[in-house]
Amino acid sequence: MNRPEIFVRDGTASQSSRIGVVIVNLGTPDATDAGSVRRYLREFLSDSRVIENQGLVWKFILNAIILTRRPRAKGLDYEKIWNRDKNESPLKTITRAQAGKLRAAVEQGAVPSAVPGIVVDWAMRYGNPSLESRLEALVKLGCERILLVPLYPQYAAATTATVCDAAFVTLAKLRFQPTLRVVPPYYDDPVYIDALAVSIETELKKLPFVPDMILASFHGIPKSYADEGDPYPEQCKETARLLRARLKLDESRFMLTFQSRFGRAEWLQPYTDITVKQLAASGVKNLAVVTPGFAADCLETLEEIAVENGDFFKQAGGVNFAAIPCLNDSEPGMELLVHLVRRELQGWV
């Protein structure tokens, strides 16, 4: 069971003064079998932030087509990347590790505090451990102030906003609600950009080849969402611009693309898979892909990018392909998380 950990500096924990910190990522099925994947997909795709039109047509498509056909196929994809030692997805393993290292940093004084206890926990927006269960646990521990840390550098209604929605639904059940803060998007934070650059430079040095091109692949959203005011694509572009400048690369060596589209609607372009094929066909032999919008490696990075798009590249004539790891619980990644938490707790600690 996922249990919060409390760090008490003076040995006299006061229930009324505890502060909760919860890092939140998207989610994962509990297992790779079709039933587990089906439960996860149903929760995820029934969210009106993810699929905005939840009308009868969508409900038919979801229940009659997607939930009958996709769970087995997706389960096989999860099988390729599954952490068999812990019997869980890498996303769950990494998010737990991020929380553990954040706890250790708090315990060691990385977040100066006059309060007796700071509780650090982690949750998934879909699947387990649920955000509802972790918030309820923090409230029971006496946390009157809670900081939510959505692990999404760029804001999208389908990611950051739905974390807030879930938190507010939980709080709506309470008579005495804790005060809530949410870490804002950090797409242009210098610490984030530097962490990405350091991580990418470190990983590139390990490769046996020099990339002719680096793709920065972000998760896509339907174009209609952006047309209606979602700031996500502009924040992705700004991250890519800042990262390109930090790495001292121009657009001929560093491109932005969007991945993971499904359905017939137009999504944000250029599409990662099509770009990968076009680059190989045009003579690019060495390609590296980075995924700055993902705080932790998951199905979309470990299978969709590293396996599927790697195969696309080589089948179209490419030779060397590398998927650069996410920040995960690396030293730069943890420095970023500590920075965000320390900054957003100002005035509370």
Share of the chain above pLDDT 90, in %: 89
Domains 5-186+331-344 and 190-323 share a fold: yes
Q: What number is the average pLDDT over the span 113-139?
A: 90
Q: Give residue 154's pLDDT.
A: 98
Does the pLDDT at position 1 exceed 80?
no
Confidence of residue 115 (pLDDT cuts 50, 70, 90): low
CATH 3.40.50.1400 at 190-323, yes or no: yes
- Each domain of the chain, given as residue ranges in start order, spans 5-186+331-344, 190-323
Q: Give residue 126's pLDDT.
A: 98
Does the pLDDT at position 316 exceed 80?
yes
Q: What is the pTM of this model?
A: 0.92
Does the pLDDT at position 12 exceed 50?
no
Q: What is the pLDDT of residues 185-241, one digit of tens each?
A: 999 999 999 999 999 999 999 999 999 999 999 999 999 999 999 999 999 999 999
Q: What number is the average pLDDT over the span 262-287?
A: 96
Q: What number is the average pLDDT over the span 315-337?
A: 98
Three-point CA angle 313, 319, 322, nearest 5°: 70
* 315-319: long-range contacts, CB 8 A cutoff, minimum separation 24: 315/280, 316/276, 316/277, 316/278, 316/280, 316/281, 317/280, 317/281, 317/283, 317/285, 318/276, 318/279, 318/280, 318/284, 318/285, 318/286, 318/287, 319/285, 319/286
How many alpha carbons fall within 13 Å on the CB side of residue 133? 13
Q: What number is the average pLDDT over the span 96-103?
A: 97
Q: What is the pLDDT of residues 63-86, one digit of tens each?
A: 999 999 999 999 999 999 999 999
Q: Give residue 11's pLDDT.
A: 35
* 138-141: long-range contacts, CB 8 A cutoff, minimum separation 24: 138/4, 138/20, 138/22, 138/178, 139/174, 139/178, 141/4, 141/6, 141/15, 141/18, 141/20
Confidence of residue 107 (pLDDT cuts 50, 70, 90): confident
Q: Give residue 13's pLDDT.
A: 40
Q: Give residue 17's pLDDT.
A: 74
Q: What is the pLDDT of residues 41-61, one digit of tens each?
A: 999 999 999 999 999 999 999
CATH of 5-186+331-344, one of 2.60.120.380, 3.40.50.1400, 3.40.50.1370, 3.40.50.1970: 3.40.50.1400
Q: Give residue 113's pLDDT.
A: 62
